[in-house]
Structure 1
Amino acid sequence: MKLILTQEIPGLGSPGDTVQVAAGYGRNYLIPRRYAIVATRGAEKQIEQIRRARSAREIRDLGQAKEIAGQLATLPIRLVTRAGKEGRLFGSVTATDVVAAVSAAGGPDLDRRRVELPSPIKSLGSHTVSVHLHPEVVATVKLEVVSA
């Protein structure tokens, strides 16, 4: 199934990209959530509008993304959670928890889908988390997980 993406999908593409996906994935997930539209002749005009808007946004956002990355690098972020005696957490730290901790520390609002956890955080201590702010800018966040 040939689709045109209207939003960025990690691992698939950016808005305006034409992608070939399995019929079920497109019909049951991408199209109902309005992440993509079916590629038709009329949709080609929409692709051009999406690409023009994206290129105008990227030029502005590159500088802003670098600025936010600088803020995140210097921001001390502490996440208080419940843990057992041996330092193992009850559950794990999710991307939503990281976004909430950054906001609580006075940092910028982030999209949880842009936060990349290399592996689930299930222990106390210092951890490094990546945040994809822009296709060219990846910020590194130092996260200190402490017991409540």
Structure 2
Amino acid sequence: MKIILTHEVSGLGAAGDVVDVKDGYARNYLIPRGFAMRWTKGGEKDVEQIRRGRKIREIATIEQANSVKAQLESVKVRLATRSGDSGRLFGSVTPADIASAIKQAGGPDVDKRRIELGAPIKTLGAHQVSVRLHAEVAAKVGVEVVAA
């Protein structure tokens, strides 16, 4: 099935790319979650608008990405959340929570879609998350989850 990506999907492409994927992957995962839309001749017009929006949000050069990476890795991020007595969280920490915590800690503004969690964060303590800044540059950010 031919689809147009509306968000960046790891291992598949960036927003505005037209890609071919298996029908089930598109119908059951990408389209319902809003990561893609079906390709049509009319939808081809939307591709240019999506690409313009991506270009505005995107970090253009590797030098810019490296400077943002240095800022991110120097920031100490603490995230206060509700937890039980055993150190288990009520719910989990989302990329949006991490993006706002980075901003509150004095770091640069980070798009939540660029934050990659290896596994869901459901316990108190120190965790590492990856922030994709550029195709070739990713920053490792330490996040300390504490009880609120």
Which category of TM-score, normalised to the shorter sequence, fits these structures? 0.7 to 0.9
Segments of structure 2 that go 5 or more residues without pairing to the other structure are none
Q: How do 1:1-148 and structure 2 match up within 5 A? A: 1-3=1-3, 5=5, 8-15=8-15, 17-21=17-21, 22=23, 25=26, 35=36, 38=39, 60-148=60-148
1:2-27 CA-partner distances (Å, limit 9, x unpaired): 3454653333213564411228837x
Kindly state the Cα deviation for residue 58 of structure 1 after the two structures are TM-superposed: 7.5
Percentage identity across aligned positions?
47
Aligned length: 144
- Contact map agreement 1:2 1:18 (CA 8 A) in 2: yes
1:63–1:85 CA distance, 2 compared to 1 (3 A): same
Structure showing greater Rg: 1
Structure 1 unmatched ranges of 5 or more: none
- Give the TM-score normalised by the residue count of structure 1: 0.74
With the length of structure 2 as denominator, give the TM-score of the two structures: 0.74
Contact 2:59 2:134 in 1 (8 A): no
Please, what is the CA RMSD of the aligned residues? 3.7
SS at match of 2:143: strand
